[in-house]
Amino acid sequence: MAARNKFHNAVKNGLIKEGWIITDDPFFLQYGGVDVYIDLGAEKIISAEKDNQKIAVEIKSFLSMSVITDFHLALGQFMSYRLIVKEQEPERILYLAIPRDIYNSFFQLLFTRKAVADYQIKLIVYNPEEEVIVSWQN
């Protein structure tokens, strides 16, 4: 199992503040001979008449010297995880959690916006200092 991301608890606490119940930390899946550990699994009751909403969240910090390398690694991991989530738990939505400063800079570039749109990446933008979710980008 991989080491936790530096901002793991900040995202976890932000989700809890929004009423999410953390069901898995980490969220383990197996498929096609591959084991993966997505950072978090969570559920939220929408209403008494509806099913629970289920998500999986892969948390990234983008703290290395190369933001593009971090992006490439995150994108590859996200795409692999989404394939497995779709096969194993199709009702669950996978999100990539990114810090607000990276969202406001690198994720506003034309290249990054195009990649996020084309690859249909769902984002959770978080503030690591305040441990809150800033926005959900679907």
Give the predicted TM-score (pTM) of the model.
Answer: 0.93
pLDDT exceeds cutoff 60 at 15: yes
| Residue 1, pLDDT score | 52
Q: Could you tell me the pLDDT band of residue 100, with boundaries at 50, 70 and 90? A: very high
Q: How many residues does the chain have?
A: 138
| Residue 11, pLDDT score | 97
CATH number of 8-137: 3.40.1350.10
Q: What is the pLDDT of residues 49-65, one digit of tens each?
A: 556 899 999 999 999 99
Give alpha helix (H) positions in 52-91.
Answer: 67-88
For residue 114, give the 3-state DSSP assignment.
helix
pLDDT exceeds cutoff 80 at 32: yes
Instruction: Name the strand (E) or helix (H) holding 34.
Output: strand 34-38
| Residue 51, pLDDT score | 64
Q: What is the pLDDT of residues 103-118, one digit of tens each?
A: 999 999 999 999 999 9
As a whole number of angstroms, the distance between CA 46 and CA 50 comes to: 6
| Residue 52, pLDDT score | 81
Q: Taking the alpha carbons of 109, 62, 96, 74 in that order, is the dihedral positive or negative?
A: positive
* The two structure tokens encoding residue 52: 């629970």
As a whole number of angstroms, the distance between CA 66 and CA 79 comes to: 20
